[in-house]
A and B are shown apart, each in its own frame.
Chain A
Amino acid sequence: MSGRIINWIDRRFPFTSFIRDELTGYPTPRNLSYWWNFGFLAGFVLVLQVATGIFLAMHYKADVAHAFDSIQHIMRDVNYGWLLRYMHATGASAFFFVIFIHMARTLYYGSYRAPRELLWWTGQGLLLMLMATAFMGYLLPWGQMSFWGATVITNLFRATPVFGEQVVIWLRGDYSVGDATLNRFYALHYLFPFLIIGAVVIHLVALHAVKSSNPSGIDLKAKDNIPFHPYFTSKDLFGLGVFLIFFCVVVFFVPDSLSEPANSIPANPLQTPNHIVPEWYFLPFYAILRSVPNMVGGVVAMGLSVMMFAFMPALDRSSIPGGARYRPIYRVLFYLFVIDMVVLGYVGYQPPAGTIVVIGQLATIGYFAYFVLIFGLSKVEERWLVKRGLPPDVQALINAEALAKSSRA
């Protein structure tokens, strides 16, 4: 009976073949390390955010007179409301944490290179949407940091040529951040996750066209690909378990560790907090913004710092496989870049005074220097490596896979 139903469906819709080709039988390189788990984890966190968010929305009130109170209502009176909210708030941080690792893996292994440029660019689009969603969501608790964070960031759009003033008013729906702003941010915070889901589908379509990269950086022959199920379903589920352990430690034991104390004070437009800081995941970009003395320059630098990743396929001209793994110069640059990000994050958290400003400016130069150096050095490094000869194990792999293109290198 069920066979007949499936047959009936399959003649009208590619049900069985879709599951076989794209889910269970989807060919996946057998040598993927645990760094390849983070895409799946990002998908999981997205679902978690949507699921908790919908239930929070049932109790939240987007009104400047009630928003802060409704959060307290959720935290105190709604059954397990505290659990929903702590999961949602921690989930936002977890999302960025997972995405940053996902991106770091792509940079380290050079997974952005041909033919995966569109996969990388759709990911870049997802990052921007994620940032917008997180930023708008942060206004909703209507605490001091919510209000002043939104005020500072919307103010940046004054840098728009000619229409600066109008753009800021258009974004806020008012002359200052107020009820209109809260309402539109809430509406968009509810809309964006669904746009993100759509963009994830596009990201996955791109992935399934070019298939996963792998640590060797060489496209493996069919015999080295294994079906996604049960090999990677079991591996991803184990990774999910490890992720959930860390996630639940934060949710149940230190849920307030990532929130600013000032956000437990209701928004007050007449009183500026001594120290306005964004959430941790925006700190490096915020530090870049503040490091440029000129406002327009700062906004441009910040925008560029987020968008620089999109240029990687063009900047990295090396054809040595395996990304940082077989490329000593690129590897050093990668680690310097990660350290630079951490320094920028620290600078973004500190009040901008004294040496902090200088460190921030140096780190900002370092940030952009990474991309320039990759452009300058990738070809030099490639010539040097070819002359020196690739490590024997890489050469052996290339020979085994007998890929004419790679064996040239």
Chain B
Amino acid sequence: MKKFTLLLVVTCLALLGMSALADMSTVQIATDTATLGRGADSMMTNCRSCHSLKYVRYRDLTSIGIPKPKIDEWRGSESVDNPMLAVLADKDALQSFGIVPPDLSLITKARDGGMNYLYAYLLGYHNTSNGSVDNLIYPGTKMPDALGISSATTAAQLVDIHGKARDVTSFLAWAADPHAKERIRMGYYVLAYLVLLTSLLYLVKRMVWARLSTSDDHLTSWKK
């Protein structure tokens, strides 16, 4: 049965490997207030004219430390309890682009590669030989180069755009999974508790089983 255990472990590793198939540069997102604030700002200026964030309400932004005046500025006459919808109406988007730009609330979960996909996509714009702009990750995308990487010329601009892409990705990762930080923090406590409990349960098991006499135990001779 030891071989079976080994097989199980190998299978689990193979499954993990399968989920990491995407061949993209990895992005290290941040969860600090400054990054999320810059990301939210970027989202508001670069994305929200076309994309909604319908599962996030303006009020939710306070939980990542965005100051109230800033939120008031963004929401205009909308209530704080309203979802963050796109400026462009779906009807008009259809007319201009032929599709409704996808809602971004779950975008970092809804693509193979997750956050890495989004990051690589935002930075994937380049000039083609026939003079137009295309995307390496999603060729033929309808979305224009929002961060302007295809027209960047200096190293400083490139650094700035990479930073912006990372900020937006961090913000949208929060939007897709707003309780992630709390979940991971709680996870450490839960695991610490379980490891302690399981160690104690192991000792209890040992103590209880020690009551069995092993002197006449002919079963132990062939026990593995």
Q: Which of A262, A264, A335, A397 is within 8 Å of B222, CB to CB?
A: A397
B105's partner among A72, A216, A244 (CB-CB below 8 A) is A72
Cβ-defined contact, B8 with A83, below 8 A? no
Tell me, in angstroms, the Cα distance from A234 to B106 when the chains sit together: 44
Could you write out 13 A-B pairs with CB less than 8 Å apart? Answer: A101-B8, A108-B1, A224-B219, A231-B209, A234-B204, A237-B201, A241-B198, A242-B198, A248-B190, A252-B183, A264-B106, A393-B222, A397-B219
- Contact check, A396 vs B209: say whether CB atoms are below 8 A apart: no
Q: How far is the CA of A224 from the CA of B194 in the complex (A)?
A: 33
Q: List the one stretch of B15-23, B34-42, B124-132 in contact with chain A.
A: B15-23
With an 8 A cutoff between CB atoms, is B187 at the interface? yes
Residues of A within 8 A of B8 (CB): 101
Of the listed residues B19, B178, B186, the one surrounded by the most CB atoms of chain A closer than 10 A to its CB is B19
Bound Cα distance A370, B190 (Å): 43
Stretch in B85-93, B107-115, B144-152 touching the partner: B107-115
A14 at the interface (CB under 8 A from B): no
Does chain B have a CB within 8 A of A22?
no
**Which of chain B's residues has its CB closest to A73's CB?**
B55
Is residue B191 contacting chain A, with contact meaning CB distance below 8 A? yes
| B14 within 8 A of partner (CB) | yes
Give chain B residues whose Cβ lies under 8 Å from the Cβ of A346. Answer: 14, 18
Verify if A104 is at the interface (C-beta below 8 Å from B). yes
Say if the beta carbon of A185 comes within 8 Å of chain B: no
Q: Interface size for chain B: under 10, 10 to 19, 20 to 34, or 35 or more residues?
A: 35 or more
- B202 surroundings in chain A (CB, below 8 A): 238, 241
Which one of A29-37, A165-173, A186-194, A289-297 is at the interface? A29-37
B4 touches A234 (CB 8 A): no
Shortest CB-to-CB span from A290 to chain B, Å, is: 17
State the CA gap A362–B128 with chains docked (Å): 45
Q: Which residues of B contact A (CB under 8 A)?
A: 1, 3-4, 7-8, 10-11, 14-16, 18-19, 55, 60, 105-106, 109-112, 114, 176-179, 183-184, 186-187, 190-191, 194-195, 197-198, 201-202, 204-205, 208-209, 212, 217-219, 221-224
Q: Distance (Å) between the CB of B64 and the closest chain A CB?
A: 13
A257 in contact with B219 (CB, 8 Å): no
- Chain A residues contacting B11 (CB-CB under 8 Å) are 342, 345
Q: Which A residues from 247 to 266 make CB contacts under 8 A with B?
A: 248-249, 251-253, 255-257, 261-262, 264-265
The number of chain A residues touching the other chain, given as a range, is: 35 or more
A245 within 8 A of B: yes
Contact check, B105 vs A256: say whether CB atoms are below 8 A apart: no
Q: How far is the CA of A75 from the CA of B111 in the complex (A)?
A: 19
B179 x A108 contact (CB < 8 A):
no
Contact B187 A253 (CB under 8 A): yes
Contacts of A54 in B (CB 8 A): none
Report the minimal beta-carbon distance from B155 to chain A, rounded to whole angstroms.
34
Q: Is the CB of A253 within 8 A of B224?
A: no
Which chain B residues lie closer than 8 Å to A255 at the CB level? 183
Identify the closest chain B residue to A248 (Cβ). B190
- Quick check: is A59 within 8 A (CB to CB) of the other chain? no
When the two chains form the complex, which single residue of A82, A252, A339, A396 contacts B190, counting CB atoms closer than 8 Å?
Answer: A252
**Known contacts being A234-B204, A234-B205, A335-B3, is A249 close to B221, with CB within 8 Å?**
no
Decide if A383 is an interface residue (CB 8 Å cutoff).
no
Task: Select one of A230, A257, A264, A342 contacting B16, CB under 8 A.
Answer: A257
Within the assembled complex, what's the spacing in Å between the Cα atoms of A108 and B7?
Answer: 14
A394 engages B184 (CB within 8 Å): no
Asked whether any CB of chain B lies closer than 8 Å to the CB of A226, the reply is yes
Task: Determine the chain A residues whose CB is within 8 A of the CB of B111 once the complex forms.
Answer: 261
Given A238-B198, A253-B184, A261-B112, the answer on whether A245 and B191 have CB atoms closer than 8 Å is: yes
Given contacts A224-B219, A257-B19, are A35 and B179 in contact (CB under 8 A)? no
4 pairs of A and B residues whose beta carbons are closest in the complex = A252-B187, A241-B198, A264-B110, A393-B222
Bound complex: CA of A342 vs CA of B15, how far in Å?
10
Q: Are A82 and B179 in contact (CB under 8 A)?
A: yes
A66 at the interface (CB under 8 A from B): no
Give A173 to B183 CA distance when docked, in angstroms.
39
Is A121 among interface residues, defined by CB-CB distance under 8 A?
no
Considering the complex, give the chain A residue whose CB is closest to the CB of B183: A252
Question: Known: A235-B205, A238-B198, A265-B110. Is A396-B221 also a contact (CB below 8 A)?
Answer: yes
Say yes or no: B198 contacts A248, CB within 8 Å.
no
Contact A33 B224 (CB under 8 A): yes
The residue that A33 contacts in the complex, of B1, B187, B195, with Cβ under 8 A, is B1
Task: With A245-B195, A264-B109 as known contacts, state yes or no: A35 contacts B1, CB within 8 Å.
Answer: yes
The distance from the CB of A356 to the nearest CB of chain B, in whole angstroms, is 13
Q: Which residue of the partner chain, among B105, B177, B195, B218, contacts A397 with CB atoms under 8 Å?
A: B218
**Alpha-carbon distance between A215 and B3 when the two chains are bound, in angstroms:** 16
0 or 1 for each of A326-369: is its CB under 8 Å from B? (1 = yes): 00000000010011001001100100000000000000000000
A400 within 8 Å of B by Cβ? yes
In the complex, the chain A residue whose C-beta lies closest to that of B60 is A76
State whether A248 touches B194 (Cβ < 8 A). yes
